[in-house]
Structure formats: structure tokens, C-alpha cells
Structure 1
Amino acid sequence: MDKSPSLQIEFQHTISRYSTDETLIQSYWLEIKRQYETAGRYYHNLTHLKNILMELNEISAEINDWEVILCSVFYHDIIYDARAQDNEEQSAQLAKARLSKLQLPESKIDLVFNQIIATKKHQKSTDSDTNYFLDADLSILGKDWEQYNSYGQNIRKEYAIYPDDLYNQGRKKALTHFLTLETIFSTPHFQSKYERQARLNLTREINLL
């Protein structure tokens, strides 16, 4: 099922508060859609964005700046190459370049930039919106095993350029890192909702690698 129509409405509604240039707004959306629909994106695609927004909609009353967090959602994985080490930096720079053409205050653009950069390490932030955004980005970790396993398989497809032994080594290291954290999720909402199942899922996948 195509997840893009409601995403398009959400994006255009947000951006239209800062620009009346319909051609520019449409070009921004088409760029986002094109990037997230690039061949080889089995997980980091429009469905991923849709799921993050669904998680955040549940707690929208807790979000201080909804417009900023929406921009972060749409742009945080706009650049994604499994071989690259700077996807987050490139995505943040692209977001800054695009949003700077609008009338967004510099302070909001800086927040978007920093939230996207924060997805590189997923460390707890002093900014509550950033923590909600990061937790929503990781929410797949705490879904039921069927959904989690499907996610894991899709990540493997995105890293198909790597042989099993190399991939498994890197994947195990990443998953083990999450398990060493005092809590995987930074906010009480997501801890209550997903922490326990996330730890079960991560442990199960590690044992299968």
C-alpha cells in the first residue's frame, strides 16, 4: 500500500506555513518521495516515515515544536547509503539547505539540523523533543517479533553488498551496544511501551546471527 499521500499532505501543510510558493513546496515533496523510494531502500523508506509519525501523533501534546520535529522526520534519512559513514551529516546539511530557502527562523533550522545529527548515535539529549524523535525512530525495536524480524530482514537487504560474516559481526556489535545501555529508550512513554520487548527482540536476533 502506498504510504505517500497522507505524508505528502502532512509535509505540504507544514511547509505552507512558511512559503506560498507552490512550485517550491511541490519540488521539495517530490525530492523527498524520490529519495525515500530509491531502489534498495527496504526499511528506510516512506513506510518508516509513516510509522514514526504515527508514534509521535500519540504524544503530540508532549511535543514543544511540532513543525521542527516533522521536518526532522522527513529529512533525517533523505540521504541513505549503506556504504557511507556520513548519511546523517549529509541529510542534515540537505535539510538546512532546503529549509533555509523558506522563511523558517534560523533557530528552528538549527533544531532540525541537530535532531537529524542526533540519529547517528541515539544518545539521550537535553532536549525533550529530540528524545521523543529518537525514540520514535527506534520504535521498531520494540514491536512484536514478526514485525521486528521483518525489519531485520529488510536491513540485511539494504546491506546486501556485505557478505554474511562481515554483516553479522557489525550487526551483532550494534545490537549489543543497545543492550548495554541502561535504557534503550530515553522517554518514559517509549520505555513503558517498548523497552521490555526491544530487549527480547535484540537478544533473540543476536542469538540467531
Structure 2
Amino acid sequence: MNLPEKYTQLLLNIGFNEKEIQLHWSDLEKTYSNKSRHYHNLTHIKDMIASFETYSAQLQNPNEIIFAVFYHDYIYKSSKKDNELKSAEFALSILPKNSNLDTQLIFDAICATQLHQHNTIEDINWLIDFDLKILARDWDDYQIYFEQIRKEYRIYPDFLYKPGRAKALKHFLENEFIYQTDEFRKLYEEKARFNIEKEILLLT
């Protein structure tokens, strides 16, 4: 999959000119390629786009959701709690005035990737599930994922990081479901719970 081509096609569809697209792609690529990003990088975006392509026919507003995919982690600082809000604000700030996108949907969708709670809008539930698909990877890949997350939080010593990470993971297990769509629950719920439980054991 060619991410720049996907991005270019999307932005052409929503009213950007080619020069603007080039500038925005360079900015996006630079941001997601920052050396501090071990997991929340272009590989993560590419994985989410692959899920989007598989299930795009299920979406009422595919352009809004793929735009949200590209920008949902634009702002990412492990010491901050408002990354999603700031990312959503930034995403809306670059849209052309004549864009026909549903800006409220984009804003709400990006913000929803903070808590990953069930949403009344099904498109947002799909985005949440695309974001969390990593939790159901085979164990070796899942282990690489949580090691990458640890590197992103390297400013915190183990005595702070481990209980914080365990608390966040237990929050997933306390919910009735990790995944918000029937399709993802059927395919990935059991595997994700297994991986999370196994990681919690390693943290305690």
C-alpha cells in the first residue's frame, strides 16, 4: 500500500490542490517519523488504513474516517493527556473552507480514540476498532507492540510505568467488550483479552 498516494487521493477528493497536498504530506510524514515515535508512527497508520480498506463498505462516511485515521495521533506526547483533542483541533484547522466533510464527525472520531468507548455513531466504532486491532496480534507481534509503547514512555521509571500500564490494560478487561463492532468482536475479542491478561502478568 502506498500511503502518499492514498493521502493524495483523499485530499484531492476533499478540495485541496496539489501544492497544498505536498506540503501537508511532508508535514504529516515528518511528524509521524519523529524518533520518539516507536509505535504511533506511519506503520500504525498503514495498519489502520489496511483495516479501513477491508471494511470501507461498512462506513457511512468513509472520507471523514480515513481523514481521522491520518490525523488521530498527529499530536502525541506521552506526558500529555490531551493528545487526541489537540490532534482533532489540528485536523480541522487544515481543512479548506469549501470542504464538504462533516467536521463534527472528524472531531468526535479522533477524540474517541482516547477512551475507546462505544459510540452511538457506528463509523466511530469502526475507527476505534481499527485503532485497537493491534491488541489481537499473534503474541510475538503483540510483544513488539508493548515494547514499542514502553519506549515511548521511557521518561517514566518502571515503578511508575508498570502500574500505570497495568491499570490502563485492566480498564479494557473491565469493559463488557474491547471491540465496538460485532465483526471485530467475533474475530479478535478472545485473542485481545488473552494478550492483555498475559501482559498484565508480566507487569506485576
TM-score when normalising by structure 1: 0.94
8 A Cα contact 1:19 1:25, kept in partner: no
Matched to 1:124, the amino acid is H
Within 5 Å, give how 1:51-66 maps onto structure 2: 51-66=47-62
- Residue 102 of structure 1: how far off its partner (Å): 5.0
Tell me what 2:122 maps to. 128
SS in 2 for 1:119: helix
Within 5 Å, give how 1:148-159 maps onto structure 2: 148-159=142-153
Within 5 Å, give how 1:63-142 maps onto structure 2: 63-99=59-95, 101-105=96-100, 108-142=102-136
- Residue 20 of structure 1: how far off its partner (Å): 5.0
Tell me what 1:208 maps to. 202
Query: Which of 165, 172, 184 is matched with 1:190 structurally?
Result: 184
8 A Cα contact 2:52 2:66, kept in partner: no
Q: Which runs of 5+ in 1 are unaligned?
A: none
Tell me what 1:47 maps to. 43
Matched to 1:103, the amino acid is N
Matched to 1:104, the amino acid is S
Q: CA RMSD in A?
A: 1.1
CA distance in 2, matches of 1:8, 1:103: 23
Greater Cα shift, 51-60 or 168-177: 51-60
8 A Cα contact 2:38 2:149, kept in partner: yes
TM-score when normalising by structure 2: 0.96
- Decide whether aligned partners of structure 1 residues 20 and 82 sit closer, same or farther in structure 2, where only a CA change above 3 A counts: closer
CA distance in 2, matches of 1:188, 1:143: 18
8 A Cα contact 1:18 1:102, kept in partner: no
1:92-151 residue CA offsets vs partner (Å, 9 max, x unmatched): 00001001x25223x612211110011111110011110000001000001110111100
Matched to 1:12, the amino acid is T
CA distance in 2, matches of 1:205, 1:139: 16
CA distance in 2, matches of 1:139, 1:166: 26
Please list every run of at least 4 consecutive aligned residues from structure 1 whose deviation after the TM superposition is greater than 3 angstroms.
Answer: none
SS in 2 for 1:58: helix
Q: Which runs of 5+ in 2 are unaligned?
A: none
How many residues align structurally? 203
- Residue 192 of structure 1: how far off its partner (Å): 1.1
